[in-house]
Structure 1
Amino acid sequence: MILLSLGSNIDKEKNIAVALKRIGERCPILKKSSEHITEPVDCDGGLFLNMVIEIKTSLTPRELLLFTQDIEKRLGRTDKGKSKARTIDIDILFYHDQKIDEPGLTIPHPRLYQRRFVLEPLAEIAPGLVKDAWRS
């Protein structure tokens, strides 16, 4: 199971839709959570639109990271700073059962279980992963 989170608080509906389209052109989208409106956490700007998707891909985790970063750049993301408003933020939550800790790439995402804006949509499409987190 390969799971990505998407979030935006700048022109959010458009940017989420474009990101989904671009991801889907290269990686079939198998499942999508509903869209969740959430308060910003440690970030400037207005409300966020967040969701989680499951994809299928032959890209390696590093290639998937570069692919999602390219989408972020094309949609106007210029800074990965924590406190910045975001045109789009795409994070790799899980890549099957792989555990990766390399410069610039940590899977599972290191803060996913601290983020309600990820956990709620994740619970819709992969409830077992959320239940497992509470057992750990």
Structure 2
Amino acid sequence: MSKVYLGLGTNLGDKEQNLRIAVQKIEEQIGKVISLSAFYVTAPWGFTSDNSFLNAALCVDTALSPLEVLQKTQGIECDLGRIHKSVNGTYSDRVIDIDLLLYDDLVLSAQSPSGAELNLPHPLMAKRDFVMRPLAEIAPDLIHPVLRKTMKKILSDL
């Protein structure tokens, strides 16, 4: 079994319900959720919106490969009504966003059969307070496989 850390975000509709449904679907389709952060209200990042975000992080034990986890998370996003993915750094409001942050201590760059890019660890995670705050809550002493710093240290450096 592998430990996978996911970042969740939503800024449309019933945000708390969106996160709870996403967590339930992750447990049904990916594996046992072993930790879940509090839900954090955050400002949009990378674009302007009147809608604040609700963000969380979780850890799941899975037997799936990284590309299988990516496929499942994208399916969950679609099931919850997410139509458009961010393209070339152009972000927009969304019902749900599920980012694959870490998969054990794997460093990987791959492309799924659908053409989606998977980069592990997530290349922007250490620059995003809305990712690091919930992640540091559930895994403060986890070491980033590239930066060689704990999640707690990365958060304090932001």
Category of TM-score, reference length = shorter chain:
over 0.9
- Report the AA paired with residue 118 of structure 2: L
- 3-state SS of the aligned residue for 1:94? strand
- Report the AA paired with residue 106 of structure 2: Q
Work out the number of aligned pairs and report it.
135
| Runs of 4 or more consecutive aligned structure 1 residues displaced over 3 Å after TM superposition | 131-135
After TM superposition, the structure 1 = structure 2 runs for residues 1-136 of structure 1, keeping only pairs within 5 Å, are 1-11=3-13, 12-26=15-29, 27-45=31-49, 46-81=51-86, 82-103=90-111, 104-128=117-141, 129-131=150-152, 133=154
TM-score (norm 1): 0.93
TM-score (norm 2): 0.80
CA deviation string 1:92-129 (max 9, x = no partner)? 11000111112310010000000000010011111123
- 3-state SS of the aligned residue for 2:35? strand
- Report the AA paired with residue 8 of structure 1: T
Q: How far, CA to CA, are the matches of 1:121 and 1:6 in structure 2?
A: 10
Coordinate RMSD, CA, aligned: 1.5
- Of Structure 1 and Structure 2, the greater helix share is in 1
- 3-state SS of the aligned residue for 2:21? helix
Q: How far, CA to CA, are the matches of 1:22 and 1:109 in structure 2?
A: 21
CA deviation string 1:57-81 (max 9, x = no partner)? 1010000000000000111111112
Q: How far, CA to CA, are the matches of 1:79 and 1:59 in structure 2?
A: 25
Judge which range, 80-89 or 52-61, deviates more.
80-89
Contact 1:69 1:90 in 2 (8 A): yes
Q: How far, CA to CA, are the matches of 1:130 and 1:39 in structure 2?
A: 21
Judge which range, 110-119 or 44-53, deviates more.
44-53
**Identity between Structure 1 and Structure 2 (%):** 39
Judge which range, 101-110 or 111-120, deviates more.
101-110
